[in-house]
Structure 1
Amino acid sequence: MSTPRTVDRAFETALYGTTDDTLDTAASLLAADPTADAELARRGGEFVDAAWRRGWQPADLVRIVRRELDDPHVRLVAALIRTRAPHDRARGPRWAAQLDDLPDAEATPPPRTDRFSHATAVLELYRLLLRLPGLEPLEMGAAGKGAHRASGDRPESRALARIRALLAKAEATGYPEEAEALSAKAQELMARHSVDEALLAARGQAHAASPNAPGACRIGVEQPYEQAKALLLDAVADANHCRAVWNEPFGFSTVVGFETDLEAVELLYTSLLVQAEAAMTKAEAGQRAGGRKRTKTFRQSFLAAYAHRAGSRLRAAAEAATAGNGAAVDVDLLPVLASREAAVTDRTERMFPETTTTRLRGVSDEAGWTEGTRAADRARVGRRRPLP
């Protein structure tokens, strides 16, 4: 029997069926024919290419495989993505960063396994990839893509470098008040940087790397407590002139905004999530020390309250920074910001013409809500001396 025919028979048996029996039969066919391995890998590359055409990106594939399957499948899909990367077209800095962040197979070598088990895992992965639906494309038209590629070639700005440093300190400190003060300072700097970029672009003084239209990126919203985490991401996006649309089944939110603002959202959301989880752990320890057992509802309520209060404080910090950097008196500022907000709204509505609201579930623990509000409310985030 020819190698392609072996793979064809295995696919006909397993990929379009739904039972373990068909999977076992197909895995047995592949395990018995070592000459089919190369063809099987080639077909995997085709599945990856098809996923790209349907709007998926490397981080999306890894995320959905991790949610639906197991570690061996994650290693398999990461290997397929790496194999296809040299044959793919350039897709911009975010795509390149996702390739760099793929799980490192050499750092965590897979356990030894027999051919049947390996073939079973491959077929399970391919069955999932085959059934992936189309996603909203993130890439813009030719002008937008060119601008986006160029933005990856410029060195990181001093502002972003300082923002990263502030957030790193916030994550490292053991004092919640200091962490929240550092995060507020980072938000102020983000807001000032965003306004500066907007004014430069409007006056035609920005370098060629400045995007002339809003872009979009996907940010993972991982289990557990993904509703509360999505709420936190939405608050961070709103404070930074972006819009976030949550896709619950696939575990991510799509954030739409201008490049500088998207970078700010990614940085701040990741940092605040780390800080929120650290504060939640500390709050739970305090509750247990008081003899009160806390449950999933405590953690869900804590994170929901943290997101709600953090959003208010981030917006206040952003408004204070905008008013404090001298840009507020510039006659060009308000029309520029209004125009950018309209552009972000327009792109969001074109990408997602139909959206629904979701009621936050499981927020019923009063102590959790109180502790979460306190954790987000300790820092004094008022008007402060402008950052140098």
Structure 2
Amino acid sequence: MSTPRTVDRAFETALYDTADDALDTAASLLAADPAADAELARRGEEFVATAWRRGWQPADLVRIVRRELDDVHVRLAAALIRAQAADDRPRGPRWAAQLDAVTDRAPSPADRFSHATAVLELYRLLLRLPALEPLDEAPGAARREARPESRALARIRALLAKAEATGYPEEAEALSAKAQELMARHSVDEALLAAQAQGLASSPDTPGACRIGVEPPYEQARAVLLDAVADANHCRAVWNEAFGFSTVVGFEADLDAVELLYTSLLVQAEAAMAKAEAGQRAGGRKRTKTFRQSFLAAYAHRAGTRLRAAAEAATAESAATGAAADADLLPVLASREVAVTERLERLFPETTTTRLRGVSDAAGWTEGTRAADDARVEGRRPLRPGR
């Protein structure tokens, strides 16, 4: 039997039939024909390329494989993604960053039957992936790839790193608030620079979009937190519960801010929740999943309020400085908000709202609100364009 025919027979047997005995039969065929390995890998790269054409990205693929299958399948998928990338076209800095994050660790050695079984299980999943909204990078993204990180973004990263490292919730909240203020001013600076360089009416700078993982447990509360962070940073988020991510639409500098702040706030929220649970247990009160769900929901709600207030205050302060560049600030921001809304509606012409479930623990809500509400928000001098 020729090698391609072996793979064809295995696929006909296993990929379109979910029965266990069909999988075993197909895996036996592949295990008995070592010459079929190269063809099997080539077909896997074709499945990956098809996923890209259907709107998936490297991080999405790794996420869904981890969600639906096991670690061995994640390693197999990572190896296929890395192999396929060698023949793929350049797709922009966000895509390149996702590829860099995909491990190139080779799959663990296994007997040929077990290996073939895992490959077929992975291919079954890849074959059934639905189409996603295409997130082509915004015009000009390739030029930003070589642009060094701004001093403002470096400072924001440093503030959030300190917030994650401190053991004091009040200090963490204060540092996060300062980071949000800097993000707001950085967003203003980026908007003004784009408008000044290109002219408001003819600027080619358009909103981009990215997907951010929203992982269980308590994914509803996490999605609420991400939505709040996006809203405070001039972005919009749409949650896809089935596939464990939210799509965030906004301008590139704002998308960077959302990714940074959401990741940091999750770390801080989980640390604060662990501390609150310890206090509850010390008081003799056993807390459950409902406590944690209520804690994170309250944290997300209150953190969103504080982030919006910090962002609005920073933007208002920038607009009130009297600089000539700020004369166009409000029209620029309004224009960008309209552009974000239009891009969101093109990507998602139909959306639905979801009611947050499991928020029924009063102590969890109180503790979550307190964790997000301890710090004072202090004003800071605005950053000016070019600094």
What does residue 354 of structure 1 align with? 350
1:199 Cα shift? 1.2
Match of 1:132 among 108, 119, 129: 129
1:7, distance to aligned residue in structure 2 (A): 0.2
Matched, 1:385 2:380: yes
Determine the structure 1 residue equivalent to 2:329: 333
1:75-124 CA distance string (max 9 Å, x none): 00000000011111101111111111113416xx62x3211110000000
Q: Output the CA distance in 2 between the equivalents of 1:334 and 1:324.
A: 12
Residues 55-70 of structure 1 aligned to structure 2 (within 5 Å): 55-70=55-70
Q: Provide the aligned length of Structure 1 versus Structure 2.
A: 377
How do 1:221-260 and structure 2 match up within 5 A?
221-260=214-253
Cα distance in 1, alignment partners of residues 319 and 10 from structure 2:
67
State the distance in 2 between where 1:45 and 1:89 align.
14
SS of alignment partner, residue 105 of structure 2: coil
Give the deviation of 1:190 after TM superposition: 0.3
Q: Do the aligned partners of 1:167 and 1:268 also contact (CA within 8 Å) in 2?
A: yes
**Unmatched 5+ residue regions in structure 1?**
none
* Percent of aligned pairs with the same amino acid: 83
Residue 212 of structure 2 aligns to a residue whose secondary structure is: strand
Map Cα deviations across residues 44-98 of structure 1 (whole Å, 9 max, x no partner).
Answer: 0000000000000000000000000000000000000000111111011111111
What pairs with 1:259-278 in structure 2 (closer than 5 Å)?
259-278=252-271
Which blocks of at least 5 consecutive residues in structure 2 are unaligned?
none
With the length of structure 1 as denominator, give the TM-score of the two structures: 0.95
| Partner deviation per Cα, 1:314-354 (whole Å, 9 max, x = no partner) | 00000111122345653311111111000000000000000
Query: Corresponding residue for 2:29?
Result: 29
Q: 2:297 matched to which residue of 1?
A: 304
Letter in 2 for 1:129: L
Equivalent residue for 2:285, pick from 288, 292, 303: 292
**Are the counterparts in 2 of residues 211 and 258 from structure 1 also a CA contact under 8 Å?**
no
Match of 1:44, SS?
Answer: helix
Q: Distance in 2 between matches of 1:134 and 1:359?
A: 26
Distance 1:247 1:326 in 2: 36
Which of 345, 350, 368 aligns to 1:372? It is 368
Letter in 1 for 2:381: P
Give, in angstroms, the shift of residue 18 of structure 1: 1.2
Secondary structure of the residue aligned to 1:46 is: helix
Aligned to 2:210: 217
1:276-333 deviations in Å (ceiling 9; x for gaps):
0000000000000000111000000000000000000000000111122345653311
CA contact (8 A) 2:319 2:329 kept: no
1:98 aligns with 2:93: no
Q: Measure, in 2, the Cα distance between the counterparts of 1:298 and 1:326.
A: 42
* CA deviations over 1:143-170 (Å, ceiling 9, x no partner): x34x011111100011101000000000
Counterpart in 2 of 1:199?
192
1:39 aligned partner, one-letter code: E
> Match for residue 110 of structure 2?
113
Tell me, yes or no, if the aligned pair for 1:216 and 1:254 is still in contact at 8 Å.
yes
- One-letter amino acid of the structure 2 residue matched with residue 172 of structure 1: A
Look up the match of 1:165: 158
Q: Structure 2: how far apart are the matches of 1:39 and 1:387?
A: 59
Aligned equivalents of 1:287, 1:91: Cα separation in 2? 49
Please give the root-mean-square deviation of Cα atoms over the aligned residues, in Å: 1.4
Q: State how far apart, in whole Å, the 2-side matches of 1:268 and 1:211 are.
A: 27
